[in-house]
Structure 1
Amino acid sequence: MAGAIHRGAGTHDAIGEMPERLVSAVGHAGVFEDLLPVALWVTDADGRLVQWSLAAQDLLGHTPEEMLGRLADHVLVPERNRELADRLSRRVRAGAAVVARLPVRHRDGGVIEMEMWICPITDGLGRTGVLAIAAETSAVEGMRDALAALEGLFSQSPIGLAMLGADLRFLRVNEALARMDGVPVAEHIGRRVTELAPGTDALESVMRQVLDRGEAVVDFRHTGPERAEPEQRRTWSCSYAPLLGTAGQRVGVIASLIDVTEEQRAHLEVERARRRLALLAEAGTQMGSTLDLTQTAQEVVRVLVPRLADSADVQLLEEAVAPDETAASAHGVVRRAAAAFTDPAAPADHLAVGMTMQVPPGSVYEQVIGAGRPMNLYLSDIGPLIPGPGADRLREYLRARVGSARLVPLVARGTVLGAVVVTRTRDREPFGDQDTLLIDELVARAALNIDNARMYSRERDAALTLQRSLMNPSLPAVSGLELTGRYLPAGDHEVGGDWFDAIALSGGRTALVIGDVMGHGIHAAAVMGQLRTTVRTLARRDTAPDQVLRALDAAVADLGDNEMATCLYAVHDPGTGHCLIARAGHPPPMVADERGTVAFLDGPPGPPLGVGGQDCEVQRLLLPPGSLLVTYTDGLIETRGTDLDQGMRRLARALRHPGHPLEQICDELLAHVMPETADDDVAVLLARALPR
């Protein structure tokens, strides 16, 4: 040992070659100081200090200038310990090395208990001096405990632990970490993490950040392949803290790793379940928002792509959605109703909406349609389903890009309406069990919405057919009046019970009728047809306006308690220019003269048809030549958010040019008064008095 420390840091001459002057203090003890502050001093054979280290100054407060040349026992040894110190010194000068725990006096007068190693050393005159190496007892015990704890932690902890130097090379690892990365403990030492496990640059970057900033990083998640089974991926929670020296400098990194693969999988499964529930809830609001068949199919695609699939293709059986008279000729034919493909490489020209395809007999598609059960598809299954020009290019795309596919039949109320094909590209994980369950559930819901749209479409078509058959849109040529009218349903998918009519009466008179049956659909159209027929029958009997409305009230009441309608019935006499008008809950007609002065008919509207106790007031109105009578249903002037009076004022302002051709006036009224989104059907009947 003496030889090992013969030259001290900061000295110019060996201790055994004493210079003429006293040597200066020995410098700090490098790594020893980082781990444990160690004081060093040397006395000659007379007991005088010839070396005093800077670490000794740090621990005991005495500077080298104060200590060199002085008797060590007088300065450092408390009075009560002098005898023990003399005895130990004699043993050392006799050639023995001594280890002892002794109190040492601090410069401030206090006493510090120190662990000391005292051994003989030859001074400059060839005599035996004393070399003392000392550390504070509390620091030694703390280091011993820390080392014991560290040793126990490294040897027994199930957590992967490692110490890395400032160059981020492993200094020490435990068996738990070696098991995690599949590399023996010995093979770690001196190597970097990127050398042991390629693809871990992010981990090294985090450790470098910890070293540079001096801030710990906790629970950094890293996922990578297992060394033994690369197809299996595991996830680790990695935490890093700076390894500090006694002076607070950063000398390395402490790393701890926990395998959280199962926890991560459970978390991902919970998150996926949450997303599935959210998607189901969203689908409930997005799908079925309309009764349009095409739009409903598009809503299905928007729900599935891109969150669940990279493509979705909704194909409907022609025989399920076509009119009854054409269904038989469309057996086995499917038409693409909606499609979405996120992959830009997909050959869109062969996947266009509206394309039809004959289902190949004996194919998987036919099996799925026949059995009504979903199935995962393979490329060999999809190939036969792609006939026609461009099929080879599409098959090549499927082979190159599609990783998994599923064919789900659209089944509603026991009827197969078509199928939905969903795919994922090879860049995405294949459909799992939970994915397929969710897709099947969404398609089942979509099937009900599509079936609702299909049945509504058929009912609407039937209602339109009935309405056309019951209401002749052409008006007759009559004496003394020029006529025009319009009927506009609330939308492309709504048919109601609004109607108008003009009936030639005896004596050149004309009956003008406009009405509104509450409700929509085929039932409202049927009620409208009955009322129209009743009015025509009564009009030809020359029934007075108020009597016509009483008869209609009774007819509506006979249809049931929930039936209701409004009606305006007027009789124009070209000989006198007068018009008799009766109303049953109907909005007042508007009259405009040739100069454009506009007025609405005063008087009570009377109760609607169907409520009973009909007692209608008949009003007499003069229609001078060139004047205009405008009758309408409430859908023209009443919408959500506006009341009847606002609508009537809007209608009055819209009649700007009463002298224009009647057809033009009618179009202008509808353009300026009709709301952008109609809530109800609209019927308008215009009559202009001709010169007598």
Structure 2
Amino acid sequence: MFYMRTSISSSGGAEERLRQIELVTDTALAHLESDDLLQEMLHRSSDLLDVDTAAVMRYEPASELLVATAAVGIEDLVRQDVRSHVGPSFASAAAGRRRPILDSEEDPSVLLPAFQEHGISTLIGTPMLAGGDVIGVLYVGTYRARRFSEHDVHLLQLVADRIALAIRASTTHAERAATKALQRSLLPTKLPAVPGITLDARYVSGADPALGGDWYDVFTLPSGHIGIVIGDVVGNGLPAAIIMGRLRSALRAYALETEDPAQVLHKLDRKVTHFEPNAMATVAYSIYDPAAAALRISMAGHLPPVVGKPSCRSSLAPVPVDPPVGLGVTHRDRRTSVIELPAQGVVCFYTDGLVERRHRSIDIGLDQLCEAIDPAPAGTVCTRVMNKLVGAEPPDDDIALLTISHSETANTPSR
């Protein structure tokens, strides 16, 4: 049997409710770590709403699951990793509903059995939204039968919104830190020392915290040749960085099987198409042969490198560009081209964050890059390029820059 809880209808009561809800996310909680913060918010929310249990179910769009993330009064939901499949229409339905779910018939994702086993009599779930995105569902329950009033429902939605914003802020910070750590861990710890050439690279994270799919790699092959990779995963944030790590490892493995760059990218394309069906990346893979002073290169949707020669204006390498990996065009043959690296010459690889700017044609950035490159040791070239195209302003997008110089003047490779 349900009962109607006495609601505060006066303006003073409404003001008191609004004052109380500030306790859910006051500044004193800012020092807490993510898990502790969420737990404390649920404790305060339970007291404010006068309920016996509260649980946050985070929404995972990729798997279409609600996953128990934090709980009070029913903590084993989290310990047992309780989850519920909600289907493809859940997010749009939850975003459009903007109101609590009062019974299990309205929402098939309600985990009523798990709550009933603990003697929960009344259960209500509220979508947690932040910036129009569905973060998850806040569930509250009571052991005694209870009918939630309109004031209760409104207060519950306010609490859910506050928790959603806190989760979004905490997640953004944590994912940004994890993305940067993953990016840095996957960069080469030391560039190979190769007689007759200098190598140098730069990696700069963009100002947008959602970015994270650029990478470069340099490694010595069993033949003594040097593998050089630069790529950019389509997407952003931690998911893009994770895919980037997988592509980097897979490409290294394929590079041990063949020294034909086109075949390496063909294998990588098959791998991405089959195992990462929603992923796509641009990649340039080249192999430097010291004896021939030349690079064999295959391009998968990536911007062509810039080649600089003495007494000539630097220009984009005239190499054919095949489709990105993951596009699904696996039947098309990929091509390998040759770029000569003459004495005092330089080849510069880069990702689009270096040359692309909002409200400006990319051709302008490419022209500036060509102007900035003059034959010199790799470290000098990288410094000139970054000063010319980046300067002191934080870039919008991630930037990876990798230079190989056939210079008689050696310099110490750096990251």
Q: Tell whether the structures are fold-level matches, with TM greater than 0.5.
A: yes
Read off the aligned partner of 2:322 and give its amino acid letter: G
Alpha-carbon contact 2:183-2:215 (below 8 Å) kept:
no
CA drift of 1:482 comes to 1.2
1:127-206 pair list within 5 angstroms: none
**CA offset at residue 549 of structure 1?**
1.1
Letter in 1 for 2:167: D
- For the 8 Å contact 1:589–1:631, the answer to whether it is kept is yes
How big is the shift at 1:565?
0.7
Q: Does 1:456 align with 2:172?
A: yes
Q: Counterpart in 1 of 2:28?
A: 315
Aligned identity (percent) is 33
CA distances 1:130-183 after superposition (whole Å, capped 9, x unpaired): xxxxxxxxxxxxxxxxxxxxxxxxxxxxxxxxxxxxxxxxxxxxxxxxxxxxxx
Contiguous gaps of at least 5 residues in structure 2? 1-10, 12-18, 51-135, 140-152, 410-415
Contact 1:531/1:552 (CA < 8 Å) preserved in 2? yes
Q: Say if 1:510 and 1:572, in contact at 8 Å, map to a contact too.
A: yes
Aligned with 2:359 (options 622, 630, 641): 641
Q: Would the aligned equivalents of 2:49 and 2:156 in 1 still touch at CA under 8 Å? A: no
Report deviation, 1:510.
1.0
Look up the SS of the partner of 1:683 in the other structure: strand
Does 2:47 align with 1:371?
yes
Shift of 1:663: 2.9
The reply to whether residue 617 of structure 1 matches residue 335 of structure 2 is yes
Partner of 1:535: 251
User: How many Å separate the matches in 2 of 1:636 and 1:486?
Assistant: 11
Q: Deviations over 1:404-441 (max 9, x none)?
A: xxxxxxxx9559xxxxxxxxxxxxxxxxxxxxx99998
1:495 Cα offset (Å):
4.0
Amino acid of the residue matched to residue 681 of structure 1? D
Query: Contact conserved, 2:375 with 2:405, CA < 8 A, in 1?
Result: no
Per-residue deviation, 1:686 = 0.8
Residue 27 of structure 2 aligns to a residue whose secondary structure is: strand
Structure 1 residue identity aligned to 2:363: D
Q: Note the residue ranges of structure 1 that are not aligned, 5 or more in a row.
A: 1-268, 270-303, 335-365, 375-411, 416-436
Match of 1:685 in 2: 402
| 1:18-417 paired onto structure 2 within 5 Å | 314-316=27-29, 318-321=31-34, 368=44, 371-372=47-48, 414=138
1:529-560 Cα distance to aligned partner (Å, 9 max, x none): 12111221222234301111111111110134
Name the counterpart of 2:192: 476
State the distance in 2 between where 1:492 and 1:465 align. 16
Higher relative contact order (CA 8 A, sep 6+): 2
Question: Is 2:260–2:336's contact at 8 Å kept on the other side of the alignment?
Answer: no
Contact preservation (8 Å) 1:500, 1:514: yes
Q: C-alpha offsets along residues 222-280 of structure 1, whole Å, 9 cap, x if unaligned?
A: xxxxxxxxxxxxxxxxxxxxxxxxxxxxxxxxxxxxxxxxxxxxxxx9xxxxxxxxxxx
1:370 to 1:439, Cα distance in 2 relative to 1, 3 A:
closer
Distance 1:317 1:678, change over 3 A: closer
CA distance in 2, matches of 1:478, 1:448: 52
1:548 partnered with 2:261: no
Shift of 1:576: 1.8
After the TM superposition, which segments of 4 or more aligned residues of structure 1 sit over 4 Å from their partners? Answer: 366-370, 412-415, 437-444
Indicate if the aligned counterparts of 2:258 and 2:264 stay in contact, CA closer than 8 A: no
Counterpart contact for 1:637–1:674, Cα < 8 Å: no
What is the CA–CA distance in structure 1 between the aligned matches of 2:158 and 2:388, rounded to whole Å? 43
Deviation at 1:449, TM superposition (A): 2.0
Quote the Cα distance in structure 2 between the aligned partners of 1:535 and 1:600.
Answer: 25
Give the Cα separation in 2 of the matches to 1:414 and 1:367.
13
Question: How far apart in 2 are the matches of 1:491 and 1:603?
Answer: 32
> Aligned partners of 1:370 and 1:445: how far apart in 2?
15
SS of the residue corresponding to residue 685 of structure 1 reads strand
**Whose radius of gyration is greater, 1 or 2?**
1
Using the TM superposition, give the Cα deviation of residue 691 of structure 1 relative to its aligned residue in structure 2, in angstroms.
Answer: 4.4
1:573 and 2:289 aligned: yes
Structure 1: distance between partners of 2:185 and 2:314: 35
Q: Which amino acid aligns with 1:533?
A: S
Change (3 A) 1:473 1:414: farther
Provide the rounded CA distance (Å) in 2 between the counterparts of 1:645 and 1:485.
23
Distance 1:491 1:371 in 2: 40
Structure 1 residue aligned with 2:309: 593
RMSD over equivalenced CA pairs, Å? 4.1
1:582 is matched with: 298
Aligned-partner Cα distance in 2 for 1:482–1:493: 33
Distance 2:214 2:255 in 1: 19
**TM-score normalized with structure 1 length:** 0.38
Q: Distance in 2 between matches of 1:367 and 1:511?
A: 55
Which of 504, 511, 535 aligns to 2:220? It is 504
Cα deviation code 1:442-463 (max 9, x no counterpart): 7764442221011222233333
Query: For 1:480 and 1:529, how far apart are their aligned partners in 2?
Result: 31
Deviation digits for residues 188-210 of structure 1 (CA, Å, limit 9, x no counterpart): xxxxxxxxxxxxxxxxxxxxxxx
Task: State the aligned residue count.
Answer: 295
Give the Cα separation in 2 of the matches to 1:568 and 1:494: 23
Q: 1:492 to 1:474 in 2, by over 3 A?
A: farther
Query: Shift of the alpha carbon at 1:644?
Result: 2.8
State the AA in 2 paired with 1:619.
Answer: S
The DSSP-based 3-state class of the residue aligned with 1:528 is helix
Cα distance in 2, alignment partners of residues 579 and 457 from structure 1: 41
Alpha-carbon offset, residue 464 of structure 1: 3.1
Query: Which residue in 1 is equivalent to 2:235?
Result: 519
